[in-house]
Structure 1
Amino acid sequence: AWAAGVYRDRGWREDAAAALSDAVAGAASPAEQAAWLERAGQLSWERGDREAALRQFQEAVRLDPDQRAAQAGQGRALAALGRVSEALSAYRVALEKQPLPGYALELGELYESLGLTDAARVQYDLLRARVSRDEAGGVDQQLVLGQFEADHGDPAAAVARLRAEWRRQPGIAVADALGWALHRAGDDREALRYAMTATDRVHGGAMRSAPYTYHLAMIERSLGRQGAARRHLTEALRINPYFSPLHAPAARAALAALGEPSMEDVPDFRPPRG
């Protein structure tokens, strides 16, 4: 399983999947087997394989009904497959037993994508309440709270929270979240620096991630870098066309609005005559 994590971070998806398969086969208990299956489901989800992700998440829950991460994963995959009622039920079960802020954010965004704004607001209130309880207990939830505030609350407050988080524990996820919060707050030039940190593999960026690449693309679009934005929107949707019930449709709309590249922007490389 540790090897699978290394392979995943390097973008070696097939090696990661094979290593996780070995981990599942060598597990010492059903609960351990379910944990590795949940990781395999995450890997399948990240590469846009909805069906494989759902099978792996379902098997994890069958082996260990307390595997709430797999329960929430089922919700994610079912929503991507258009099985919305089942997706909502899966998320509710996960939240009933383990009300993590991240699950509440995912369910809230699914409700919002369906136009159910009141139901979404209930989940967002749950997220805030859970973060407050966790923080009182010494659990750091600033990353998920910053992600929530950037899209659904106060982007300026998200920037302040995520800057502090970056000082405490800089990392790829924090770089992506801070870059997106800066974009939402209107500071695209600084946002680009963090978004590039999160996605530039040469300088330590993450594996190919649809959400991170989408964030980079939208920042580039705001800066007028249409070619780069078009390329990264295409890449994000190629990695996982279903990465978010809210942002994947926004990515498709943005790509359509950019249209085809203009031939006027292509330099003339024809050699001079004679």
Structure 2
Amino acid sequence: MRRTAMAIGVGLVLAISGGIGVATTSDEPAERPAPAVARVVPDSGQDLEAAIISLQDTLRRVPKDHASWANLAVAYVEQARLTGLASYYEMAEEAASRSFSIEPDENFTALAARAAIESAKHDFDAALASAEEALGINPYDVGSLAIRIDTLTELGRYDDQLRALRIADRRRPSTAIAARYAYAYELRGELDRAGDILRDAAANGGGADRGYLLTLRADILRKQGRLEGAGRDLETAQQVAPKLLLSLVSTARLQTARGDLDGAVETWQAVTARQPLPEYITELGELLDHLGRTEEAEAQYDVVRATIDLLDASGVGSDLETAIFESDHGSVEQALIQAQAEYSRRTSVHVADAYAWALHRAGRDAQALPIARAATRLGTPEARFWIHRGTIEAALGMTGAARTHLRRGLATDPGLSPWQRDEALATLSRVRSDR
């Protein structure tokens, strides 16, 4: 979940010369012929609208093209996530069903589509099973390889994640796999290595692919405090891929890092108008809160609640998003229910952080501490993870550890929500005064 903002698929998957991982000559299964259809792969930076139009045009001409129906299903899943319109999930399921009805046997593209739908609904075990089934038919399918990596990441199976990455990079080096490799290293705190992968991959890419990779690299540079470099990458990304919303999200956080909070408000408003995801709306609300625009902030929080209700009604799992939001801006009881439910299904660092924070808000700090430690076990440079851990330690009277981890969190990302920064600074101030 990096990035809930991981987006879109590659119709034009760029091979990266030599791959990213360790090249081997191990026994690999024979490659099946690729379908004569551009593959749509979650999380790679493609222009989704163009892909959907192209696939719909193909299906008007060739209505029994099962691969195009499956690709269209994946594109609809991604469009649902980008637009917040739950109706796209129904369209995705209909398209996948159509693909299976046309080709019920060895239809790996439809299995990959089913995996994408299951993943979007946070049924990650089922998504992994579907991806594995697809790879049993075509071990070289880039969509299935990518979804397998994503589900292992979401489940918190990080050793398996790296193994899946090496296999995918050996079989299908691409923009999609490069982005996932970089994220794996980012999760582990290896920001230089992650940035180098994205830089090298962007040098081999063009258009939407290049813009996407440069946007991801800009986020890395911002976390490192290299704001000028981040700005240059975003400027290039917006030139080569002007419709890429992720670069607008990154711009809002860079404006925050630079102290241009009024500019960040305007940018977040543009983002949420196009992609009303709960985490983006919350970030806008917290910025308004920090600026003293309380009524406007509350209006945004109301939108978050309504959006979560719509997602839940459509069958899209939002326990994690709900827990994070409710812990800070709503019902602690609801946050704890949602976080505990999600943690029972998967133990990624993001879910562990949300559960630990909900426990803290409920006054259960002794129970929260080992889970907060689990959230930081990879050394992930996520400011909230360290702030939450430090705050829990402060509540337990562990002042030395609290100061260390609060400072680490505050130093991790200058683009952190100012409201979150205010909360952390207030806790740090209390810890200092207790010495």
Under TM normalisation by the shorter chain, which class is it? 0.7 to 0.9
SS at match of 2:315: coil
Structure 1 Cα separation of the partners of residues 210 and 287 of structure 2: 29
Q: Secondary structure of the residue that 2:276 maps to in structure 1?
A: coil
> Aligned letter for 1:188?
D
1:213 and 2:213 correspond: no
Distance across 2 between alignment mates of 1:217 and 1:63? 41
Taking a change above 3 Å as real, the CA distance of residues 48 and 252 of structure 1, as seen in their structure-2 partners, is farther
3-state SS in 2 of match to 1:246: helix
Offset of residue 247 of structure 1? 2.0
Unaligned runs of 5+ residues in structure 1 are 263-274
The alignment yields a C-alpha RMSD, in angstroms, of 2.0
Q: Secondary structure at the match of 1:228?
A: helix
Residue matched to 1:233: 406
- Find the counterpart in structure 1 of residue 374 from structure 2: 197
Aligned residue number for residue 163 of structure 1: 340
Q: Distance in 2 between matches of 1:115 and 1:74?
A: 22
Distance 1:138 1:26, change over 3 A: farther
Q: Which residue of 2 aligns with 1:265?
A: none
* Conservation of the 8 A alpha-carbon contact between 2:252 and 2:264: yes
Larger of the two Rg values belongs to structure: 2
Q: 1:34 to 1:198 in 2, by over 3 A?
A: same
Identical residues among aligned pairs (%): 35
Equivalent-residue separation in structure 2 for 1:134 and 1:45 (angstroms): 31
Q: Deviations over 1:101-129 (max 9, x none)?
A: 11101101100111111111121111122
Q: For structure 2, which runs of at least 5 residues remain unmatched after alignment?
A: 1-177
Deviations 1:11-44 (A, max 9, x none): 22111111100111111x4111111112112222
**Matched residues in 2 for 1:187 and 1:194: separation?**
11
Alpha carbons 1:162, 1:178 under 8 Å: kept: yes
Per the alignment, residue 431 of structure 2 pairs with 258
User: Are the aligned partners of 1:51 and 1:77 in contact in 2 as well (CA < 8 Å)?
Assistant: no
Q: Which amino acid aligns with 1:154?
A: S
Residue in 1 that maps onto 2:290: 113
Residue matched to 1:126: 303
* Contact 2:253–2:415 (CA under 8 A) maintained in structure 1: no
- Are the equivalent residues in 1 in contact too, given 2:223–2:414 (CA < 8 A)? no
Aligned to 1:69: 246
List per-residue Cα deviations over 1:118-154 (Å, max 9, x = no partner).
Answer: 1111211111222222223332222111111000001
Moved over 6 A (4+): none
1:82 and 2:255 are equivalent in the alignment: no
Deviation at 1:161, TM superposition (A): 0.5
> SS of 2:189's equivalent?
coil
* Residue in structure 2 matched with residue 37 of structure 1 by the alignment: 214
Deviation at 1:242, TM superposition (A): 4.5
Distance in 2 of aligned mates of 1:254 and 1:121: 23
Contact 2:256–2:416 under 8 Å retained in 1: no
Paired position in structure 1 for 2:361: 184
2:418 counterpart SS class = coil
Deviation at 1:260, TM superposition (A): 8.2
* Structure 1 match to 2:190: 12
Within the alignment, does 1:144 sit opposite 2:317 as a pair?
no
Higher normalized contact order (CA 8 Å, seq sep 6+, divided by chain length): 2
